[in-house]
């Protein structure tokens, strides 16, 4: 297919600006959808307030008079006839328009109306009059040097030249069934909407197309899994597992026992496990995964546990190592920052089977890593990994059982769609003796209260987390708290009584690990952090979580952060400091259940926060929105299932293309 540089009007400079917007291909360009539409509706002079915003069309009535000022500034004045009367127009710095504004030319003026002087100070002049109803104008994400107008021109030129070549991802029978317009027409409409009805229909069609490909992929992966569902079956001694469980410092909850049972059944069975373990923060998923790994090891296989951050991987490593200390088994930690020599050693021992348990980050699924007999792979906080990453290991020729853990409770209906290819185990019950985490929303002006609440806990030898959105003070967001600034404030407030330190994502891993270790050992009492600690970190003696600028975070994130405390038997509290958005934050005061919070978040913010879209590219959509478009999603799910099953279409180009697209990723 043609490239963007072949589009008339796009030179090297525009090309690099387009690349900056993530636009690499013609398809990217024509699917650079407007993020908003401005509705230009003809205003009426008499009905517009003084200094009010107005959009009005008409004809230029007098030759524009141009005045030039110092520093290259200029101003143009002319008379303008509109359907609701004659009005003066003034516009700054548009001398270049003078030749186009001939008397009698139809234009549309957008600006502010000074009623007494009967003058519109225009912010914009568009050539051409409005149609009798209204004009809908696409607004694009732009970048400096590339205006909305430029983008619109490039997109339209690309559509004109190559519109026929833009691939269609909906099978023709479904285009017919839903009476959709063709792809090129739909694209033309979203970029040049003639009216709302047509625009809505075109958007719906493009959303459907996106969700259809997505669900096709999910369904395809599900089917593939079923087809190659031959897994490992193994003998596992029940008595040995029970002995291991007896050795723990606590008793498992009923939900944990059930989860272990389901997983061990899966391990024993000849089919391949593909299971999601869902449980709220602090519900104790980790121990379940450790037991699963232990069971797998008893049967003579290697286990790998993959965590999204090094801090978390290290924590899991330390905990499991402790549990294994009286066993003959060998456990190692492998992350991006493992020294090269050690890495080589680990690779060697994974290959020759000397290591039974390996814990790490993405480093575990790099190409260099080979296993002797990988039997079980567990991914913690699985929503942070994409669908593709998940299949990565399988492609390496291993047939391990797979367990995903997620603390991000996804409303059940969505889970069924998105994780439609998995079995799900829920852990609902929290470990015994846990008290609810009292949550308070406080204003900035109540900082004294906040400090007192912190002090009351610190006095009892408890520890405190403090969260801020920024690392350092930032000129651009002066009103936001930073980790460094809070450290100074806390030091001022608590003098030398307590050790205060900071941790954030920009620190070297070794430094982070050291700080985390010191916090675990209670050498640090107040740990100030960005959201790097969001995921999974466990320090039972920490009883207080203070989150500054809490309004900056989604409820699910706040819930995850709150879940860092309340992990021991002492009462815990979470303080949300914010002057704005308090109504939303107050939901946190009342609700402890992560599932309900996720529903609320879903309603308020859509899926973004929920699925951690930043991390999993395959959950981002260009035009569809899982929250709003659930109905379309269900339809796309149904259709794509039916289409996948339909043998007659197996030789169709489209089906081949859709499948190739999945395998390519
Ligand atoms: P999450 O489900 O969020 O990953 P963790 O597995 O980190 O939660 O467990 C949170 C804390 O609860 C840990 O300190 C863990 O040791 C403890 N824990 C887990 N299960 C139990 C239990 N049955 N009784 C008491 N404490 C438990
Ligand atoms: Mg966890």
Which residue's CA is the closest to the ligand 1 atom numbered 23?
252
Can you tell me the mean pLDDT for 458-468? 96
Residue 406's pLDDT is 82
Torsion of CA 410, 416, 419, 423, to 10 degrees: 110
Q: Which band of pLDDT confidence, cut at 50, 70 and 90, is reported for residue 608?
A: very low
d(CA 449, CA 310) in angstroms, rounded, equals 35
On average, the pLDDT of the chain sits at 88
Q: Which residues pair with 111 in a beta bridge?
A: 54, 122
Q: Which band of pLDDT confidence, cut at 50, 70 and 90, is reported for residue 134?
A: confident
Residue 87 tokens, joined: 């009005």
- 177-202 confidence digits (pLDDT tens): 999 999 999 999 999 999 999 999 99
- 4-44 confidence digits (pLDDT tens): 999 999 999 999 999 989 899 999 999 999 988 988 888 99
Residue 392's pLDDT is 60
CA-253 nearest atom, ligand 1:
23
Residue 367's pLDDT is 76
For the Cβ of 407 lying below 6 angstroms from any atom of ligand 1, the answer is yes
For the Cβ of 7 lying below 6 angstroms from any atom of ligand 1, the answer is no
Q: Which band of pLDDT confidence, cut at 50, 70 and 90, is reported for residue 270?
A: confident
Q: Residue 460 pLDDT > 90, yes or no?
A: yes
- Higher-confidence residue of 414 and 575: namely 575
Alpha-carbon torsion (519, 522, 523, 529), positive or negative: positive
- What stretches of 163-284 show up as alpha helix (H) in DSSP? 172-177, 183-191, 196-227, 238-246, 254-268
621 and 210 Cβ atoms separated by less than 8 Å: yes
Of the candidate ranges 84-93, 124-133, 298-307, 419-428, the one whose mean pLDDT is the lowest: 419-428
For the Cβ of 594 lying below 6 angstroms from any atom of ligand 1, the answer is no
Residue 625's pLDDT is 79
Q: How far is the CA of 380 from the centre of ligand 2 (A)?
A: 7
487 and 473 Cβ atoms separated by less than 8 Å: no
For the Cβ of 527 lying below 6 angstroms from any atom of ligand 1, the answer is no
For the Cβ of 171 lying below 6 angstroms from any atom of ligand 1, the answer is no
Residue 398: CB partners within 8 Å, gap ≥ 6?
Answer: 371, 374
Residue 414's pLDDT is 66
Residue 534's pLDDT is 56
Q: Residue 167 pLDDT > 90, yes or no?
A: yes
Query: Angle formed by the axes of helices 285-298 and 254-268, to 10°?
Result: 30
For the Cβ of 591 lying below 6 angstroms from any atom of ligand 1, the answer is no
**Percentages helix, strand, coil for the chain, rounded to the nearest 5?**
45, 20, 35
Residue 168: CB partners within 8 Å, gap ≥ 6?
Answer: 175, 182, 183, 209, 654
Q: Which band of pLDDT confidence, cut at 50, 70 and 90, is reported for residue 250?
A: very high
Q: Residue 454 pLDDT > 80, yes or no?
A: yes
Q: Residue 559 pLDDT > 50, yes or no?
A: yes
Ligand nearest to C-alpha 384 = 2
For the Cβ of 314 lying below 6 angstroms from any atom of ligand 1, the answer is no
Q: Residue 587 pLDDT > 50, yes or no?
A: yes
Q: Residue 526 pLDDT > 70, yes or no?
A: yes
Q: How far is the CA of 12 from the centre of ligand 2 (A)?
A: 48
Residue 664's pLDDT is 64
Nearest to 43 by CA among 28, 26, 56, 25: 56
CA-540 nearest atom, ligand 1:
14
Can you tell me the mean pLDDT for 105-114? 95
Q: Which band of pLDDT confidence, cut at 50, 70 and 90, is reported for residue 614?
A: very low
- Percent residues over pLDDT 90 in the chain: 59
Can you tell me the mean pLDDT for 209-221? 89
Alpha-carbon torsion (471, 523, 558, 333), positive or negative: positive
- CB-neighbour burial class of residue 88 (10 A; exposed 0-12, middle 13-18, buried 19+): middle
For the Cβ of 312 lying below 6 angstroms from any atom of ligand 1, the answer is no
Highest mean pLDDT among 65-79, 213-227, 355-369: 65-79
252 and 260 Cβ atoms separated by less than 8 Å: yes
CA-281 nearest atom, ligand 1:
3
- 390-449 confidence digits (pLDDT tens): 556 555 557 888 898 887 666 666 666 666 667 888 888 888 878 889 999 999 999 999
Q: Is 576 helix (H, G, I), strand (E, B) or coil?
A: strand
Residue 597's pLDDT is 83
Residue 117: CB partners within 8 Å, gap ≥ 6?
Answer: 88
Q: Residue 480 pLDDT > 90, yes or no?
A: no
Q: Residue 468 pLDDT > 80, yes or no?
A: yes
Phi and psi angles of residue 392, each rounded to the nearest 5 degrees, phi first: -55, -45
Residue 459 tokens, joined: 């006095």
Highest mean pLDDT among 153-162, 395-404, 424-433, 581-590: 153-162
Of the candidate ranges 298-312, 395-409, 512-526, the one whose mean pLDDT is the lowest: 395-409
Q: Which band of pLDDT confidence, cut at 50, 70 and 90, is reported for residue 274?
A: confident
């Amino acid at each position: 297919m043609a490239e963007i540089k072949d589009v008339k009007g796009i030179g090297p400079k525009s090309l690099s600006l387009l690349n900056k917007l993530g636009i690499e291909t013609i398809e990217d360009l024509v699917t650079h959808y407007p993020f908003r539409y401005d509705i230009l509706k003809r205003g009426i002079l008499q009905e517009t307030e003084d200094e009010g915003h107005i959009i009005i069309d008409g004809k230029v009535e007098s030759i524009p008079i141009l005045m030039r000022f110092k520093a290259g500034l200029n101003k143009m004045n002319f008379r303008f006839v509109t359907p609701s009367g004659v009005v003066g127009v003034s516009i700054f710095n548009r001398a270049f328009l003078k030749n186009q504004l001939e008397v009698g030319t139809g234009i549309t003026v957008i600006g502010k109306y000074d009623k007494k002087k009967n003058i519109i100070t225009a912010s914009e002049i568009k050539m051409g009059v409005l149609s009798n109803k209204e004009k809908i104008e696409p607004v694009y994400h732009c970048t400096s040097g590339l205006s909305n107008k430029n983008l619109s021109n490039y997109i339209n030129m690309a559509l004109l030249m190559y519109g026929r070549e833009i691939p269609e991802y909906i099978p023709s029978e479904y285009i017919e069934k839903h009476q959709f317009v063709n792809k090129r027409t739909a694209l033309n409409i979203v970029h040049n909407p003639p009216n709302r009805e047509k625009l809505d229909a075109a958007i719906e069609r493009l959303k459907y197309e996106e969700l259809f490909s997505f669900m096709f992929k999910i369904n395809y992966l599900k089917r593939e899994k079923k087809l190659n569902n031959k897994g490992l079956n193994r003998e596992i001694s029940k008595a040995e597992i029970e002995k291991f469980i007896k050795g723990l410092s606590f008793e498992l909850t009923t939900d944990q026992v059930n989860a272990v049972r389901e997983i061990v059944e899966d391990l024993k069975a000849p089919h391949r496990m593909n299971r999601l373990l869902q449980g709220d923060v602090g519900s104790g998923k980790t121990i379940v995964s450790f037991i699963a790994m232990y069971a797998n090891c008893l049967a003579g296989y290697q286990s790998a546990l993959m965590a999204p951050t090094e801090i978390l991987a290290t924590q899991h490593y330390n905990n499991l190592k402790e549990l294994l200390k009286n066993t003959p088994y060998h456990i190692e930690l492998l992350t991006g920052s493992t020294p090269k020599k050690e890495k080589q050693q680990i690779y060697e021992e994974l290959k020759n089977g000397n290591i039974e348990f390996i814990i790490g980050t993405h480093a575990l699924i790099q190409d260099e890593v080979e296993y002797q007999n990988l039997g079980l792979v567990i991914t913690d906080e699985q929503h942070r990994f994409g669908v593709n990453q998940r299949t990565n290991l399988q492609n390496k020729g291993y047939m391990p059982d797979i367990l995903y853990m997620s603390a991000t409770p996804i409303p059940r209906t969505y889970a069924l769609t998105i994780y439609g290819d998995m079995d799900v185990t829920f852990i609902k019950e929290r470990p015994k003796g846990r008290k609810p985490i009292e949550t308070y929303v406080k204003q900035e002006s109540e900082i004294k209260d906040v400090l007192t609440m912190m002090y009351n806990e610190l006095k009892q030898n408890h520890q405190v987390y403090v969260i801020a959105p920024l690392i350092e003070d930032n000129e651009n967001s002066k009103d936001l708290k930073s980790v460094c600034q809070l450290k100074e404030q806390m030091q001022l407030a608590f003098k030398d009584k307590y050790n205060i330190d900071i941790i954030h994502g920009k620190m070297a891993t070794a430094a982070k690990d050291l700080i985390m270790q010191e916090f675990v050992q209670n050498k640090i009492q107040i740990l100030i952090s960005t959201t790097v600690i969001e995921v999974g970190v466990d320090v039972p003696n920490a009883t207080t979580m203070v989150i500054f600028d809490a309004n900056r975070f989604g409820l699910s994130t706040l819930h995850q952060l709150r879940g860092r405390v309340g992990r021991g038997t002492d009462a815990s509290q979470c303080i949300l400091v914010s002057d704005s958005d308090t109504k939303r934050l107050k939901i946190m005061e009342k609700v402890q259940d992560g599932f309900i919070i996720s529903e609320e978040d879903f309603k308020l913010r859509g899926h973004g926060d929920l699925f951690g879209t930043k991390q999993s590219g395959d959950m981002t959509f260009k035009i569809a929105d899982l929250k709003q478009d659930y109905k379309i999603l269900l339809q796309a799910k149904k259709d794509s299932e039916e289409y996948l099953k339909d043998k007659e279409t197996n030789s169709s180009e489209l089906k081949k293309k859709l499948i190739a697209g999945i395998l390519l990723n």
